Amino acid sequence: MKKKSMIGWMSLLVAVTMLTLPVQSLAGKVYKLGLSLAITGPTSDAGNPYSKGVEDYFNFVNDTKILGDDKIECTIRDDQYNNDVTKRNFEDFISQGIVFYLNYSTGSTLALKKDFEEEKMAVIPASFHAGNLIDSHYIFLPIASYSTQAIGLGEYIVKNHKGGTPKVAMFIHPSAFGRGPVEDLQKAVAAGLKMEIVEVVEHGKDLDNTAMLQRLLSKGVQYVISQTVQSPVATMLKDASGLGLVAKSFGEAGKITFLGCHYTGGNDLIALAGASAENFYWTTSYIVTNEPSPGATAQLELAKKYNRDEKAANSHNYTNGMMVAQVATEVIKRAKAAGKEITKVTLYEELQAMNGDKAFSPGTTVGPVTYSKTDHTGVDTLQLYVVGGGVFKSVGTPFIPVFAEKIK
């Protein structure tokens, strides 16, 4: 009896093995990627839609078989904006055998820089801090750095200011993320950008900026360039609005024109500041969904396909996440097309070859993504937007700041 039952089980095992073997040989390969970011905790208002953008695009790649039978498996981990947790997540991803890594904050990117070098792992962070690229061979910024963005805003001020030398203040986050562009903007001024940086304000968790705004006004400041996140900017704009200090037109005399880099703007700012956000100038390399474009359509369709709400679908952070996923997919696609095995080495090579006629246009950015051995900044082009009627509208055409090159 026992013998019969044993033979039965063995036969079943053999049958199952025979049936699954062809399936396994037909199944495509799985490429593992990792993303560690703040889905909860500080800055999760940016991290949450960012993670959805990444997740949805990779699901789209797998569902629509963009890589044929091969699939991308991107593990997304919440680090709650804590560098120690990011390091732990990165170690976990390495153990899993990832071939490409997506990181998030400036702090963790700087903290893990040496690990990226040792692992020879290509990394695209959500941080556009220029300092990420110093002493690094494996970090690739998706778009123009915060420094380039601030210089771009400075150039726009100089170009459109009427009267003498424009007086500018900087309103920054008290961290490397905020402080990064200050020195570079000062260098641009030293290199001939004709404006005066009157004061650099590092904000705390202030709930009232009245005194600061009055002080800036008394110093003749007409422009405030912000490099921080939305909520402090919203507080400042509300206070400025309450004091009647917001310029109705760009550079209006006796008033202040507010401008900001990538993470200061987006729909979240409008939601937080309401009508006070009107006439706020914002620069980024991403498209906005309220202006028709193939990229905007693709983004909205993607969000709809995966049942995202309106807020996430129209978030520039969703665009940001989608774009880095597009770049990662593109390098895998190109490596496959070249007949290369998909490894961290080949993806690194493909990323560095993304230039010239091999530049990549994801549609979600205002310019092409280009990388090379010496250029680790993806989209060099910036677009200026201004809030009008409760939405961000393009101002002029995409541009590349001249002084960003001059100070290199």
Which residue lies nearer to other proteins by CB, 29 or 114? 114
- Distance (Å, rounded) from C-alpha 250 to C-alpha 227? 19
Q: Which residues in 268-287 contact other proteins (CB under 8 A)?
A: none
Cross-sheet strand order for the sheet of 71-78: 71-78, 30-37, 100-102, 123-124
User: What is the H or E stretch that residue 165 is in?
Assistant: none
Nearer to other proteins, 48 or 235 (CB): 48
CB of 85 to other proteins, least distance (A): 7
Binding mask 71-110 for other proteins (x = CB under 8 A): -----xxx-x-xxxx-xxx-xx-xx-----------x--x
Residues forming beta bridges with residue 360, ordered by sequence position = 369
Site string for other proteins, 21-60 (x = CB under 8 A): ------------------xxx--x---x--x---------
Select 175 or 355, whichever has its Cβ closest to other proteins. Answer: 175
Q: What is the DSSP letter of 291?
A: S
Q: Which is nearer to other proteins, 157 or 272 (CB)?
A: 272
Judged by beta carbon, residue 76 or residue 369, the one nearer other proteins is: 76
Shortest Cβ 199–other proteins spacing (Å): 16
Distance in Å, CB of 44 to other proteins, minimum: 6
C-beta of residue 93 within 8 angstroms of C-beta of residue 122: no
Which of 327, 308, 404 is CA-nearest to residue 365? 327
Residue type (1 letter), 72: I
Distance in Å, CB of 172 to other proteins, minimum? 12
> For 295, phi and psi rounded to 5 degrees?
-65, -45
Helix axes 176-190, 146-160, angle to 10 degrees: 50
In three-state form (DSSP H/G/I as H, E/B as E, the rest C), the secondary structure along 334-401 is HHHHCCCCCCHHHHHHHHHCCCHHHCECCCCECCCECCCCCCCEEECCEEEEEEECCEEEEEEEEECC
Residue with tokens 């799985």: 30
The minimum distance between CB 84 and other proteins, in angstroms, equals 6
- Min dist. Cβ of residue 299 to other proteins (A): 18
- Residue 25 amino acid letter: S
Interface positions, 164-193, toward other proteins (CB under 8 A): 174-176, 179
- 306-325 positions binding other proteins, by CB under 8 A: 309
What is the chain's length? Answer: 408
Per CB under 8 A, the segment of 10-18, 111-119, 287-295, 359-367 that binds other proteins is 111-119
What is the sign of the dihedral through the CA atoms of 219, 223, 228 and 230? positive
Q: How far is the CB of 95 from other proteins (least distance, A)?
A: 4
Taking the complex as a whole, how short is the minimal distance between the CB of residue 118 and other proteins, in angstroms? 5
Q: Give yes or no for a contact between 377 and 141, defined as CB atoms under 8 angstroms apart.
A: yes
Tell me which of 31, 98, 99, 119 binds other proteins, using CB under 8 A. 119
Positive or negative, the CA dihedral 104, 106, 112, 117 is positive
Residues that bind other proteins in the complex, under the rule CB under 8 A = 39-41, 44, 48, 51, 76-78, 80, 82-85, 87-89, 91-92, 94-95, 107, 110-111, 113-115, 118-119, 174-176, 179, 309
